[in-house]
Amino acid sequence: MTTEKKSFQQLVSESDVPVLVDVFSESCGPCIAMKPVLSELKQKLGEDLRIIKINGYTNEQFMRDFSIRAFPTLLLFHKGKVVWSREGFTTASMLEKMVKAHAVG
């Protein structure tokens, strides 16, 4: 079996489902608070959503590419394009509404 490492761009553009990217810092309180929120969201949406976590401090180019200035920042990709973004803590119900409004169906 061959395992090919895909680039971030390949992951979001080739995904059949929306991709929610959580850009975080390990020392950020709101980022830590997002962990159970993202788990709840994944439990609700299952295979209808892919969640990727990116440590902003170890991925400075990503931060520059998407003009990210705060943690956490959430980016929702659909068909390879950002369709929604938000800085700061967000609830699972809000995220579920955004995913369904912008990318599902």
- Write down the catalytic residue from 12, 20, 23, 31: 31
What amino acid occupies position 82? V
Active-site residue 25, yes or no?
Answer: no
- Write down the catalytic residue from 28, 51, 54, 82: 28
What amino acid occupies position 7? S
Active-site residue 49, yes or no?
Answer: no
Burial class of residue 1 (count of CB atoms within 10 Å of its CB; 0-12, 13-18, 19+): exposed
CB 21 within 8 A of CB 75: yes
Instruction: List residues with catalytic annotation.
Output: 28, 31
